[in-house]
Amino acid sequence: MDRLAVIGLLAGPVTTSGFVPQVIKGYRSGSMSDVSLFMPLLFMVGMILWLIYGVFLGDLPVVLWNGMAIILSSVLMALKVRSARQKRKGAEPRVTR
């Protein structure tokens, strides 16, 4: 395998791995206030297009790493929605009397 093929095969997993520390951070802290929902949302739409492209070309690495990244993006979106809900709940006026 030549050097270029190795670079191509490494690019997918390294890029996809970028979601992991954010998922861990969001899961542990429970707070995603500083994270925009549109980031994982747009990533996801783009990667669904890559996935379709990869399926039609029969390009396994493109399908595999985009598929993984789509799952991780949806986890980020779920964490963001959970965080926003909890924040809203906390901001509700409380009956203190």
CA distances to 31, 37, 61, 79, 96 from 26, rounded to whole Å, are 6, 13, 27, 6, 31
CA distance 68 to 73: 9
Least distance from C-beta 64 to a second copy, angstroms? 14
Q: Which of 1, 27, 36, 78 binds a second copy (CB under 8 A)?
A: 36
Is the Cβ of residue 29 or residue 93 nearer to a second copy in the bound state?
29
Residue bearing tokens 């802290």: 29
- Write out the residues near a second copy by the rule CB under 8 A: 4, 7-8, 10-22, 24-26, 29, 31-43, 45-47, 49-50, 52-53, 56-57, 83
